């Protein structure tokens, strides 16, 4: 179901880009190629950029034997190659994975999550992160980012160049153009956030299937959610969606609408995992 939602959202966003391109006509090809090129670069170098942006440092098996042992067991079960392991010096309990495919994967954990979770809970979190890589979520997020950037960029170009529909002298056409310019960036943000939430749900489900213990991940999410709400973490907003829970939650508070959130509410994720453990699908 989560995969179907992702396909539907990407399809809708693609159709929206195509529709706006058709309506506004000229001047769209060059910025679209620019956005595409930028996201291709981001896709191939996403792991390095994410690691640098979060200040994660590589660690050896000797330094983090528990994490290495858990990840080694998980990759053996799934047939994935061993990813690179990183640590982030932050008291906030959190973790993320990046990499365009399993061969280029990296998993990072904070010092805070290692102190807060027991081994079963940590295994659930690491399985969730490996599921993101196995599910090719970096590719999906890159496509969503490309389409979202195209919508926003084209809206700005239309605003400053005066492009206004296929018949600018038509009042209805002018109104549609203005509405498109105003609403396109918001639509891009909403759809991209919705795609991110569906991928989090899917990673929860896939990770729980790998370990066979949905309740361990549910317990981890409960602790992490409390920690991220209380302990700030200074990370680039562009990388915040990679984490298992929003690392900027403590800075932004709870007043932001779920529509704009890249992460589903923890209580909803926990409820789904509990139902999964009970055999309710």
Q: What are the residues whose beta carbons fall under 8 Å from the beta carbon of 221, sequence distance 6 or more? A: 204, 244, 245, 266, 269, 270, 273
User: What are the beta bridge partners of residue 106?
Assistant: 84, 98
Q: How far apart are CA 242 and CA 98, in angstroms?
A: 7
Handedness of CA 162, 163, 169, 171 (dihedral sign): negative
222 is catalytic: no
Tokens of 262: 């890249």
In the set 123, 129, 200, 205, the catalytic residue is: 129
Q: How far apart are CA 260 and CA 135, in angstroms?
A: 23
Is residue 163 within 8 A of residue 28, CB to CB? The reply is: no
Tokens of 252: 């932004």
Tokens of 206: 């896939």
Q: What's the angle, vertex CA 120, arms to CA 119 and CA 121, rounded to 5?
A: 90
Q: How far apart are CA 231 and CA 81, in angstroms?
A: 33
User: What are the residue numbers of the active site?
Assistant: 129
């Amino acid at each position: 179901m989560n995969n179907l939602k992702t396909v539907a959202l990407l399809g809708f966003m693609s159709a929206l880009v195509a529709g706006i391109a058709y309506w506004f006509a000229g001047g769209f090809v060059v910025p679209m190629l620019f956005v595409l090129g930028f996201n291709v670069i981001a896709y191939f170098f996403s792991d390095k950029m994410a690691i640098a942006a979060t200040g994660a440092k590589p660690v050896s098996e000797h330094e983090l034997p528990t994490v290495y042992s858990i990840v080694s067991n998980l990759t053996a079960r799934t047939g994935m190659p061993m990813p690179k392991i990183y640590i982030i010096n932050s008291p906030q309990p959190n973790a993320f994975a990046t990499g365009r495919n399993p061969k280029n994967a990296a998993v990072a954990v904070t010092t805070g999550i290692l102190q807060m979770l027991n081994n079963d809970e940590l295994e659930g979190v690491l399985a969730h992160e490996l599921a993101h890589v196995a599910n090719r979520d970096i590719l999906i997020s890159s496509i969503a980012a490309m389409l979202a950037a195209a919508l926003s960029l084209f809206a700005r170009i239309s605003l400053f160049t005066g492009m206004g529909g296929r018949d600018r002298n038509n009042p209805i056409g002018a109104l549609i153009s203005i509405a498109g310019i105003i609403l396109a960036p918001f639509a891009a943000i909403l759809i991209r956030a919705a795609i991110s939430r569906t991928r989090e749900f899917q990673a929860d489900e896939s990770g729980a299937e790998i370990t066979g213990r949905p309740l361990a991940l549910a317990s981890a999410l409960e602790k992490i959610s409390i920690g991220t709400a209380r302990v700030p973490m200074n990370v680039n907003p562009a990388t915040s969606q990679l984490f298992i829970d929003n690392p900027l939650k403590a800075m932004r508070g709870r007043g932001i609408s779920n529509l704009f959130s890249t992460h589903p509410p923890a209580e909803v994720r926990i409820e789904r995992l509990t139902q999964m453990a009970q055999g309710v699908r």
